[in-house]
Each structure stands twice: as structure tokens, then as C-alpha cells.
Chains A and B, each alone.
Chain A
Amino acid sequence: MELFDNHKKLFGAAAGLFVGLTILVAIIPAIRNQEKNKPLPAAEPLSPQAKKGKAIFVANGCVACHTQQVRNVDMDKMWGSRPSLAADYAAVTRTDPWRNTATLMGTERTGPDLTDIGNRQPSRDWNLVHLYNPRIVVKESIMPAYPWLFDFKKEPSKSDIVVNVPATYTKGKEGKVVASDAALYLVAYLQSLKQVKLPGGTETPVFLYKKEEKKATTGAASAEPDGKSLFASSCQSCHQANGEGLPGAFPPLKGSSIVTGDNLELYVDIIMNGYDARPEYAAMAAVGTNMEWTEHEVAAIINYERTNWGNNGKKVTPEEIKKILDFIKLKAAK
């Protein structure tokens, strides 16, 4: 056949087919998405610090293990309150002539998704300790340590941010661990990663492939959430699996008067809205509100914390918690 014996025609045809398809499935959709999508009204641009932090995030290849996309499937619910939308990435553009745009959506989740990490783990102290060596706060973590983002100072000045690193992790180096600017920028970037609220009246896209509800209802108890796994997902990274916290950073729950005491209202309030009353410890974020917990989750966590590590507190029911939640909301409304 003439086509097959003429190299110009043959390779011209192959190149034409490939380039044509490329324009159809890559270039046109890319240009359309780039032009059509606009950032959400509530979206805030990155602060100058966060921008520098993002550059450090990119330089160290963090995207190799951390995705930044909540897929519209039920299993991704733990990473955000809604699926990520095209609009969430619309404001991401080239930062300089040398590098490409970095949406940082990622293709592998060896570590947790970071789309909403600013809500899930807003504590600067936790993030700094975790960056210095993740295994200080999460024993099972395999994330690299980034000690080169920190300095050692014998006498830190007042403006220095001192990180409370246990002696076993400083390898006998003298002085206090002080966060460098780079570390602070990186944490600023992580803190800025929050899912933007959709404008009022917009219908939230649904999560697909819902987990099938357990059909065999042997009792109401089986429908209650599992306190242990809720604790592991949302509390353990600071308060630790043994409930002992981290001295100088995160308070223990083991033997805590708030956990085992009678002031249930304060206890629920801390879980839902965070706490920053004790200067010797880092501030706690509004974990419950961020995670959109109902009385069922809160009751499960309280019951787990009250019955473990030697704690022996009174168990609570979701009904009791509901009353308190309503009261707290009422108080907040005023």
C-alpha cells in the first residue's frame, strides 16, 4: 500500500492522528477548564508566608505521598466535608517562570490527604514537632523527618519559636530546638489548607458509593460509632494512643480531671470548640465542630476516654450530650 511504503505519508498520518487526539482529549479540555472555572467567592488567596511555604512543600516533593483532592466517593469523607471541585483549583497558577503550576492533587496517598489539614490539625506546635520528627507524636509514622528546617540555639531570643522536642530525638545536640523561617512558612501553608465553604444556596455535591448500612440491627448500640477509631483518627496524634499526651505540648487524658470529672459541659465544649486556657500546653482546635460531629460521635469518644488507660468515669448517653450541644449552640448564638 502506498501509505505504508512512503515514510512521509506514514509518519505524517501517525503524527496527525496522535496530535489530533491530543488536542481533543488534552489541550482543549485543559484550556476550557482553565478559562471556565473561577475560584469560589469565599476563597482567600495564600498569604505571603503560605506562598513561601508552598514553595518549600513543592521543593521537598511532599506531593509524592500527600494528595490534595477529596474524591466524590464515600471513603474520602474523612478528608473533607465535601468533594473537591474544579473551582477549588481555579486560582492555582504559575508562580515563576521556572516552575509549572502546582495544583498538588497528587496520585498517591502514602500519608493523609491535606485538602483540609488546616481545619483538621491547625495547631502550630503540633505541626512543628511533627515536622522535626513525625515519630515524636505518631509512633507508627514513616514520614521523613525534617530536622534541617530547625536550628539549635543555646539561648533563644524572645521572638524565637521554641519547639518542645524530647531529648531522645535531639541526638545529644546542645540547646533548644528553634523553628527556622522555612519551617514556619511551611506550617503557615499547611494551616492555610482549608476547604472553602460553598456559597449559600449552592447544593453540595454528593459522595458516591455510600457504604452500605449494617442491616442486621441487633440493637441500637451496634449503630453507634466506634469511639476507639474516632479517637485514633482525630485525637490520638496529640493525646497519644496511651492517653498520656506529650509533656510540654499536649496534655494527658489519663487521669485528667476534665475527662473523669463531673463538668460534662466543659468537657463537651472543649471537644467541640477547642481550648486554649493553659499556657504550658499548645492550643486545641475546634475538632468536633470541624469534623461536624453529632451527639453520637461525641458520646462515643467520651465513653472511650472515660473507660481507658485506667480512667474510670461515668458513661454518658447521646441524649445527655444532645442537651449539652444544644445549650452550647444557644450560648454561641447569643
Chain B
Amino acid sequence: MNPGKILKRFALLLLSVLPGALSAVAQQGTPSDFSFDSPRGMAWGLFVILVMLLVAALFLKQKVNDIRSIRKRKSLKEENEMLNAHTRKLDSQQVSRLMSFKRRSNGVTVSLLILATVFSLAPITSWAQDTGSPSAGSLLGEKGIIITIILLLIPILFAIIFLTLKVINLRNLANKKQNLEDADKLAAYLRSLPEEELIKLRGQSAASEYRLSHHELSGNLPADDEKGLLQINEKAELPIVAAKKKALPRPYIDADLSRLILWHLGCATFWLLFGTTIGEYLGMKFVAPDADHVSWLSFGRLRPVHTNSVFWGWASLGMLALGYYVVPRVSNTKLANMKYGWYSLWLINAAIILGTICLMAGINNGGGEYREYVWPVMLLFAIGITLPLINFLQTIARRTTKEIYISNWYIVASIIFVIVITIVAYVPYWQNGLGETIIQGYYMHQGVGMWFMLFTLGIVYYFLPQQLNKPIYSYSLGILAFWTQILFYTLIGTHHFVFSSIPWWLQTLAIVGSAGMAIPVLAGTTNFIMTFRGAWYKVGDSYTLPFFLVGIIFYFTGSMQGTAEAFRSTNLIWHFTDFTVAHSHLTMYGIISFFLWAGIYAVTPRLTGKEAPQITIGAHFWLALIGLMFYTVPLMYGSTLKGLAWMEGKPFIDSVVLMAPYWLWRAIGGTLMWLSHLFFAYNVYRMMATRPVVDIRETAIRQLEGATASSQPIA
């Protein structure tokens, strides 16, 4: 069976569970007539909202149950166990603080009997969710009825979401209150502890904190208690995901810088979600071109909204965020100008918001890819990107290290280059006739290779060795890759216009340059892979390294694919087809986005002290990777068939029919990728959101010391 048939079978299999609207595609080769304002489209909308209602209701019920279990009165035995467990867990510092408190209040007999507060809060019963599901009948086929139901359901959905948020809040409050009460009890209990118990406790806590001192053989330390080597997990659960290493706490990071970086990351995450939501919708339009008939949402207008918001919004802001961490750190100094950082963030965000509105309103720059923003909008971006350049250069000028670490080569050079290409692309003196095409080829490719790729490589040169806790394999290879990338990459722009009417020599030069790109790509890949040498076992322990590894693999395959595509013979088959789309996703997503995620997961816990749940990081990783494969592989296969059909001189419409199942696959892969971004956004939220958690032990000790307000949250 050939791969095409297998793909088709899979597609058909999946279609049987997908909306019936899509099924027309594989069967007849005609696009689906699915439309959001048809009864069928609305029925689907209704279905989706009902599912959301159900999920929200179940979630709510679970949260309510949580509260109930918190509020449930503990039995005396359980309470004693709780107090004992807490007492055992006191660390040695806390024990000594406790002892000094006792000494101070020596002689004072405190009789304590604290009655457990009886919680009078009536158990909250779960809300009955009456979503009023209408009887299925011919009525459901009526557009008006469905619209009414949807309109009714939307406020209910929002109400449930609101309610859920309230309940979560309530649960957190209850949790906090409970913890404070427990702390009270613990304090009382500790106060009543006899001296000898305390001494015993001190011994125990010292034991539990016992670490090898590395003087064992020399024996200058009397072994106190070996039992402390045992660590018993009292509440072992079945692990769903493998336990990975936690991020190491860093000694000191400037709080202002943290804030700047986190805001950049937050904005980048928003633009990723926004841009890929648009992209997802565009992918659906290949399958259902009549999904809407709104001018602002038509394909030609939305496509640049997608590309520009993921380029300038997601990737650029994400890179700058990591750059603000790397550049001062490897220069061993402070960031030169915090204000410039904030101005830049404002300007870039403003450029994307304005640019998006302009594009959707039909105001664009004339059709060159990635320079669809009109110049007043792009000017904002240009200023927004010049500020970090000044900032980074000043920071590097004040560096306390002699050498300039290679990361800063890549990062600063890439900002210089992006400013150069923006100027070249928008200055009007060389844009008439074919001049526009030559500049377009140059601009679109330098944007990708000299801005995104170069900057990201700089990030990898810092974070990869850091995460592996090893120096980079070869500094020289990094230098070689740097200069050869500038030499060869600058030439390759016009390979997007092979066989067009631009000068033949320029096309040949671009193809030669594309072949030359093998040198920096091989140098870079070798460097990264060799840095892994002897530390491969760390990949399994880390949740950032898999992202790096995928990025490195796509760095090699994606870049070399670009070289392969540039030759004249391959251009015949693949040029103008969706192969280019698959390639740009392999690179911009497989390389740039994966490296950025790796960096973000590495740096954010260092800034906030909080980590995202491993299971959602895993979900993000696998959905993104699998989605990318589902997106690109069928698209590359289908577009090869398409190119061959064109070469045979088949009627054009045949090639459209031929692509239908592969476009469907692209939409499916795109959906997985989009889901992964929801997980990513959640992870970012978890790493950043401040959720006060009461540390029972610490609060109890503080209460005894009477030092500070006991309710002060400890993050």
C-alpha cells in the first residue's frame, strides 16, 4: 500500500469522528460548504458550548467537593497526627528558634487547651446545572431557535465560569484559613511541649537535615545519627509523569529586570495564542472556505495577521525577553537602561496591535510577505527594536568580563541586522519594478535567518550549556558558524524567485549561498550535539532539555531542507506549492519556537521561584511536536504530488482537488499545535501568578516569636 493510500485511510478513519461537515472533503474532493451561520454550523456551535458547559460544571463540582473536604472536621486522632507530623517536619533552624523562645519564656507555665473551632459553615451542595437541553427534533434545524439557544447559553456559560472562579477563590481562602487555624493549634501544641521532647525534636530535625559533609573519611565530625539518611514519603501517589529535576533557586536577580522579562514573556505568550488562533482558523478555511463571509476575516487579510503576529509578537518579544536575561548575565553587570526596555515593549506591542487592525481593514504595504505592515506601523517596531540595541551595547560596554561571550555576538548582531533589513525594505529609492522583488527576496529571508535564527542561536549558546551544566563544546565552532552565517545567508534571499525574471546570476548566487549554509548549520549542530556528550542522561531528568533537543534536530533538518529546496531541479517540483508553508513551519516552529520554549521554561522559575506542573509541560511538548509532524509531513507529501501534477500539465483544478485531504491533515495538526499553546499559556500563568500559600510550620514559629504578622504569605 502506498503512503498516500495509508494517509487517506487514516484521514477517513478520523473523519468518521470529525464533524460531518468535513467528511465531504475526502469523499468528493470538493471543499466543505460548512458555514458558521448555517443551521449545521450553529448546531456545532451549540454542541461546543454545551460541552464547555458540561466541563465547567464538572470542574465546579470538583472544586466544591474540595472545599467540603477541607471543611470537614478532623477527628482527634487525625489532628494529633497532623500536629505530630508538623512537629517532626520542623527544620533544625525552626527547632532552635523554638528552643530559644522556650528559654525566654522559661518558668511561665502555660496551660493550654485550645478547642478546635467548630466550623459552622454549612456544607455547600453542588449546584444543579440545568442547561435546559432542548428536545432534539425538527426544531433544532431552525436557525432562529438555535441562535436563541446559543444566546441563552452564552451568559450561562459565563456565569458558570465566573462562579467557578469565585469557588476557586473561596477554596483558596478556606485553605488559608484552615492552615492558619492549624498553625494556631500547632503553636499551642509546641508551647506545651516539655523541654526533653524539644531536645529530642532538635535531634530529629538535625537528623533529617543531615547531609554528607565530605569529611566522612577524615572523620573530624562525629556521626550524630545515621537514621536521617532515610527519607520517607508519607503520601506516595502513583506517578503520572516521570519526576524531573526542579529548577535551582538563584541567589539574586534584580527584581526590576525580572519584571521586565516577565512582562515581555506575558506579551509574547499572548501573541502566540492570538497569532496561532488566527492560523488555526486559516487552516480551517482551506477545508471550509465558506465558514464566514466577513471582509475583515477573509483569508487574504488574515494570513498576514497570522504571520506578523507570531513573528513580531511571539518570537520577537520572546527572544528579547530571554535576551534581557542573557546579555547582562554573561557581561556580569546590570542592564544599562531599564526604561528603554519598557519603552521598547510598549512600542512593539503598539506596532502589532495597529498593524493587525490595519491589515484586517485592508490597509497593507503592497503584498510583500512579512512586510505587509505599512511603514508608519513598522516605524514603531523599528524604534522599538533600536532601543534594545542601544541598551545591550551599553550593557556590553560596561561588562566586567574581558571577553564578549558568544551569545552576545549572536544577539547583538541579530538586532543590528534586523534594523538594517527593515531600513532596506522600507526605504523607497530602490523599490520600483523588479527592484521590489529583489528587495522582497532579500528582506523576507534575512528576516527569518538573520533576526530570528541568529538571536535564537545566541539564546541557545547560553541556556544549553547552563541546563547541561557543561561548557559549550567548542567556542571556535560557534565563531565559525557566526561568520559563515553572515557570509552565506546574506546571499540567499532571491532563491524565492528562482526562474522568475530577476537576473539569472542573482538566482545562481542565491542557490550557491543556500548550499554554503551547510557550513554554519553543520558547525552549529555539531557544537550543540557535542555539548550533550557525556550528559545525555540529563535529558531524561529535565523538562527543558527535550525542547532544546527537538530544536537542534529541526535546526539541522529544517535548515538543510531549505538548502535542498533552493536547487533549480527541486524548485521545479516544490516552488509555489504548500511545501514552502511546511518548511517555514518546520523552521519557525520547530527551531525558533521550541528553543524559545526551552529558554522560557529554564528562566521563568529562576525569576519567580515557581514552576509549572510537569504534566502540563509534558502535554505542551508532545502536542506541539506531534501536531507539527501532522501538520508538515502530509503537506510536504501532498505538495510533492501537486508539483508533479503541474509538471505533467494536468489541469490546475486537479491539483486543488488532490490537496484536499492533505489540507485537512494540516488543519488537524494545526489544532494539536494550537492546543499545545493553551497548555503553554497555562504553564506561563502557573510560573508567574502570585498565589499566596501559608507555610504552616514557618507561620507557627513566627507566631511564637511574635516577630511579624502570622498571616504574611510566604511564597
Contacts and interface: CB of A to CB of B under 8 A. Distances in A.
Interface string A292-322: 0000000000000000000000000000000
B577 interface: yes
B500 interface: yes
A61 B304 contact: yes
Nearest to A139: B30
A166 to B, nearest CB: 13
B562 interface: no
A21 B491 contact: yes
B332 interface: no
Given A14-B413, A140-B657, A141-B653, A135 B300 contact: no
Contacts of A10: 404, 409
B499 A141 contact: no
A75 B572 contact: yes
A83 B33 contact: no
Contact of A5 (B359, B366, B402): B402
Given A62-B300, A86-B501, A19 B420 contact: yes
B300 A27 contact: no
Nearest to A147: B293
B702 interface: no
A133 B420 CA distance: 43
Interface stretch (A104-112, A189-197, A265-273, A326-334): A104-112
B691 to A, nearest CB: 42
Given A60-B298, A232-B653, A86 B364 contact: no
Interface string A16-37: 0111011001110111011001
The 9 closest A-B pairs by CB, nearest first: A61-B300, A59-B362, A71-B499, A109-B576, A102-B366, A30-B435, A232-B651, A34-B435, A26-B442
B471 to A, nearest CB: 17
A54 to B, nearest CB: 10
B572 to A, nearest CB: 6
Interface residues of B, number: 101
Given A75-B572, A108-B580, A145-B293, A26 B486 contact: no
Contacts of A77: 649
Nearest to B436: A101
A17 B487 contact: yes
A104 B652 CA distance: 20
A89 B446 CA distance: 24
A21 B359 CA distance: 32
B434 A33 contact: yes
Interface string A58-70: 1111111101010
Interface in B642-657: 646-654, 656-657
Given A21-B486, A99-B366, A94 B503 contact: no
Contacts of A21: 486-487, 490-491
Given A19-B420, A34-B434, A25 B490 contact: yes
Given A7-B412, A60-B362, A89-B436, 20 more contacts: A5-B403, A7-B393, A29-B503, A30-B430, A33-B433, A34-B432, A34-B433, A59-B362, A63-B367, A64-B299, A69-B500, A71-B575, A73-B499, A98-B363, A103-B434, A104-B367, A112-B652, A135-B33, A141-B31, A148-B294
B554 interface: no
Interface stretch (B205-213, B283-291, B622-630): B283-291
A218 interface: no
Which interface class (under 10, 10 to 19, 20 to 34, 35 or more) fits A? 35 or more
A144 B416 contact: no
24 contacts: A10-B409, A11-B393, A14-B413, A21-B487, A25-B442, A25-B490, A29-B438, A29-B502, A31-B435, A33-B434, A61-B303, A61-B364, A73-B499, A85-B501, A89-B434, A89-B437, A93-B432, A100-B368, A107-B497, A140-B653, A141-B289, A141-B653, A142-B289, A229-B649
Interface stretch (B96-104, B369-377, B599-607): B369-377
A73 B397 contact: no
Interface in B351-403: 359, 362-369, 371-372, 374-376, 393, 396-397, 399, 402-403
B433 A101 contact: yes
A188 B631 CA distance: 38
Contact of A98 (B29, B368, B374, B429): B374
B506 A25 contact: yes
Contacts of B29: 140
Interface of B: 29-31, 33, 37, 285-287, 289-290, 293-295, 298-301, 303-304, 359, 362-369, 371-372, 374-376, 393, 396-397, 399, 402-404, 409, 412-413, 416-417, 420-421, 424, 426, 428-439, 442, 446, 450, 479, 482-483, 486-487, 490-491, 493-494, 496-497, 499-503, 506, 509, 572, 575-578, 580-581, 646-654, 656-657, 663
A30 B438 contact: yes
Nearest to A39: B433
Tell me what chain B mostly uses at the interface: helix, strand, loop, or mixed.
helix
A84 B31 contact: no
Contacts of B290: 133, 135, 145
A89 B366 CA distance: 14
A244 interface: no
B486 A14 contact: yes
A72 B499 contact: yes
Contacts of B424: 22, 26-27
Nearest to B429: A31
Contacts of B430: 27, 30-31, 34
A7 B442 contact: no
A18 B416 CA distance: 9
A69 B287 CA distance: 27
Nearest to B643: A75
B299 A144 contact: yes
Contact of B436 (A25, A76, A103): A103
Given A30-B430, A105-B497, A145-B290, A64 B366 contact: no
A17 B496 CA distance: 23
Contact of B577 (A109, A139, A233): A109
Given A135-B31, A148-B295, A61 B301 contact: yes
Contacts of B403: 4-5
Contacts of B572: 73, 75, 209
A146 interface: yes
A7 B397 CA distance: 7
A86 B393 contact: no
